[in-house]
Amino acid sequence: AGWSVCFRRNVSSSPSRLQHCMSAWVIDQYGTNGALTYTEEIPVPTVNSPSEVMIKVHAASLNPLDISMRGGYGATLLKLRRDPMSVMGNDHDSEFPLILGRDVSGVVVDCGSEVTHVAPGDEVWAAVPPWKQGSLAEFVTLTEYEVSHKPKLLSHTEAASIPYVANTALSALVNAGGLCRDSSSNKRVLITGGSGGVGTFSIQLLKAWGAHVTVTCSHNAEGLVRGLGADEVVDYTAGDAAEQLDMMEKFDVILDSVGGETELWAMGLLKPWSGAKYVSLVTPLLPNTDSMGMLDGLLQAGLSLQSKAIQNIISSGVFYRWGVYAPDGPALDEVSKLVDAGKILPVVEAQFPFAQVPQAFLKLDQGHARGKTVVRVA
Ligand code: NDP
């Protein structure tokens, strides 16, 4: 992880040659909110390879993943991704102190020699992969491929609300759901959990692509999701959502951001034998590797996915898939164009100053998100 002793601090808008340390919110062990610690002694993540980009963080945002990672979720698989030798039991690098925060909007301060797409001074946004040190810090360093120019029309605070949910939604809808800008106009899509971070982004993306969008959410989120373009809204708190949806025309794609028992009734809402796809964002992959160990966990998750996929394709000709976040700067370039064209708006429900990161986590802990919670870092 490259942690070393920090011997000097010099806070400025860009790291001077003398600045070795930066401020950050870290955890030194997994736990609840009490595990979050503010420190000014974290080594600045300097550019160490020709493709890296160092960003001065202006704003970050929180995702459910940050709450989960705070408690140790995914630790086994993420540790392997950070340090492949850990699978052999050669655990050289501890993940602590671990910096959470998966979204960044900020300004490039340094670039590796092979970086061509961005330059120092550029305003950028990015989703930070879960295996990298996060954005609740003064600086974050990513590869050029993960970074994109931020939409010109958005402030850093607004921009930070989008990258992680955008990369997740695009990966799920395009790679797993088979949708794209040119093939969505005649498609009926159902989004469960439409009022959260992924949902509020996905509604707008799908409407920009011309799809017909149905959403499930609580009664008090109906105005929000309709304002973002949802064509039909089902209040899951006002009775059996499955029954209400069953009375509608069947769907081409379901993006399930609720998980749990949803898949038990959602498969029957898809058009049979027509290539329709159910995509779940709530997968057992990381929990399995945490509870069963790497090999058993991956095996069990793979078997579960395969058996559900086979069962559904045989019984009704519908595809059962998992959607996963994937780092993708070029995809964010496309989102940036949609934002600057006014087709996608940031949905910022709450903002917190950097000093109040624990309060921001508490907000997320309460659930019932209506868009995103953002932290102003600079
Ligand atoms: P949020 O917490 O932002 O939003 C969840 C939303 O779902 C809230 O608005 C909540 O509001 C609503 N909700 C809760 N229960 C139901 C229900 N039964 N029916 C309809 N709506 C419901 O989460 P995100 O949008 O950021 O993420 C959604 C899920 O996707 C999370 O579980 C997350 O962990 C997962 N995810 C997975 C990724 C992957 O790579 N696989 C990547 C990103 C996210 P209310 O309770 O008021 O109804």
* pLDDT string in tens for the chain (378-residue length): 333 445 434 444 566 545 799 999 999 999 999 999 999 999 999 999 999 999 999 999 999 999 999 999 999 999 999 988 776 766 656 899 999 999 999 999 999 999 999 999 999 999 999 999 999 999 999 999 999 999 999 999 999 999 999 999 999 999 999 999 999 999 999 999 999 999 999 999 999 999 999 999 999 999 999 999 999 999 999 999 999 999 999 999 999 999 999 999 999 999 999 999 999 999 999 999 999 999 999 999 999 999 999 999 999 999 999 999 999 999 999 999 999 999 999 999 999 999 999 999 999 999 999 999 999 999
CB atoms within 10 A of CB 279: 23
Q: Is the CB of 97 inside a 6 Å radius of any atom of ligand 1?
A: no
Residues 6+ apart with CB under 8 A from 333: 148, 149
At 14 the pLDDT is: 62
Distance CA 277, CA 312 (A): 10
> Under a CB-based contact definition with an 8 Å cutoff, are residues 285 and 322 in contact?
yes
For tokens 């955890």, the residue is: 27
Instruction: Please tell me the pTM assigned to this model.
Output: 0.96
For ligand 1, mutation pick of 171, 191, 258 (most atoms within 8 Å of CB): 258
Q: Is the CB of 280 inside a 6 Å radius of any atom of ligand 1?
A: no
Q: Is the CB of 369 inside a 6 Å radius of any atom of ligand 1?
A: yes
Q: Is the CB of 198 inside a 6 Å radius of any atom of ligand 1?
A: yes
Q: Is the CB of 192 inside a 6 Å radius of any atom of ligand 1?
A: yes
Minimum CA distance residue for ligand 1 atom 10: 368
For ligand 1, mutation pick of 68, 191, 215, 218 (most atoms within 8 Å of CB): 218
Quick one: DSSP state of residue 364?
Answer: H
Distance CA 135, CA 100 (A): 7
Q: What distance in angstroms lies between residue 193's CA and the mean position of ligand 1's atoms?
A: 5
Q: What is the ipTM of this complex?
A: 0.99
Distance CA 92, CA 227 (A): 50
Q: In what order do the strands lie in the sheet with 319-322?
A: 232-235, 212-217, 188-192, 253-256, 277-280, 319-322
Question: What tens digit of pLDDT does each residue of 55-113 get?
Answer: 999 999 999 999 999 999 999 999 999 988 776 766 656 899 999 999 999 999 999 99
> Under a CB-based contact definition with an 8 Å cutoff, are residues 192 and 216 in contact?
yes
For ligand 1, mutation pick of 102, 198, 214 (most atoms within 8 Å of CB): 198
Positive or negative, the CA dihedral 218, 221, 223, 226 is negative
Number of H helices and number of E strands within the chain? 12, 16
> Under a CB-based contact definition with an 8 Å cutoff, are residues 15 and 42 in contact?
no
For residue 284, give the nearest of 70, 84, 77, 66 by alpha carbon: 77
Rg (CA), the chain: 21
Q: Report H helices in 115-187.
A: 156-159, 163-170
* Residue environment code for 10-33, b if the CB has 16+ CB neighbours within 10 A, otherwise e: eeeeebeeebbbbbbbbbeeeeee
